[in-house]
Amino acid sequence: MNLTNKVVVISGGASGLGLATAQYMVRNKGAKVALLDMNQEAGEAAVADLGKDKAMFCRTDVTSEEDVDNAIAAIIDGFGAIHADINAAGIVAPAKILNREGKASALANFKAVINVNLIGLYTVMSKCAEKMALNEPDEKGERGVIVNVSSGAAWEGQIGQSAYGASKSGVNGLNIPAAREFGKLGIRVNSIAPGMFATPMVESLDAKVSEALIAMCEAPKRMGNMEEFASTCAFLIENSYMNGRYIRLDAATILQAR
């Protein structure tokens, strides 16, 4: 799918990888972006930076179906259509299965991570797909593309990442059934699993922590820059033969247990 003048919905789009991807889509690909995020101030700042003709912000809690419905309605009203959906909203909230006393940890933490990272992602994906199905197909028969953000924790989750790893495995598990269902509609579905990326949050970490993270990267021995992530999202949207699969964008990193 050619991204020029296409409307790209990005959950978690007001900061980190989501914001970097929004900037790349507008400045490098000529797309329009709709940012779904809880951070009102950051979202409005992003729109001011990118221009109201190219960007809009919808304050959205992805765990609220009502919030997502309202956001989708606002996007259709403002931009007229949805062509691509990048789901980058997520939380980590590390916790061991058994706590320090050897007791099963409270379910609230596990549920919170699953609700945002998997159920919230599914909610945005499904609502966007509903609108994509109404688009006129392009010259390749495409109506829309979905890119879901996974993680290396889907394969090598560290101790304390049970909820996060389970949620990201679920993200990858959506690829094939969704791609098969949406294929007849001209909608593709893929996921991308980023490794260690130099987001503002990561760059604010103590130098020793950063060094430990970089040590896990095989080659190149550095964190990824955010444009590398954004350009991979663009590749998944633009390459019409990519469907139902995942890409590990992680410098051959294998996460250690701790």
Task: Kindly state the helix (H) or strand (E) to which residue 96 belongs, with its residue range.
Answer: none
Q: Residue 98: left (phi > 0), alpha (psi -120 to 50), or beta?
A: beta
Contacts with 177 (C-beta within 8 Å, 6 or more apart), sequence order: none
Could you confirm whether 122 is annotated as catalytic? no
Task: Kindly state the helix (H) or strand (E) to which residue 48 belongs, with its residue range.
Answer: helix 40-50
Return the residue matching tokens 């964190």.
223
Check 24, 122, 164, 241 and give the catalytic one: 164
| E strand segments, the chain | 7-11, 32-37, 55-59, 84-87, 144-149, 187-194, 246-249
DSSP class per residue in 174-226: THHHHHHHHGGGTEEEEEEEE-SB--HHHHTS-HHHHHHHHHT--SSSSPBPH
Half-sphere exposure of 172 (CA within 13 A, CB side): 18
Active site residues: 164
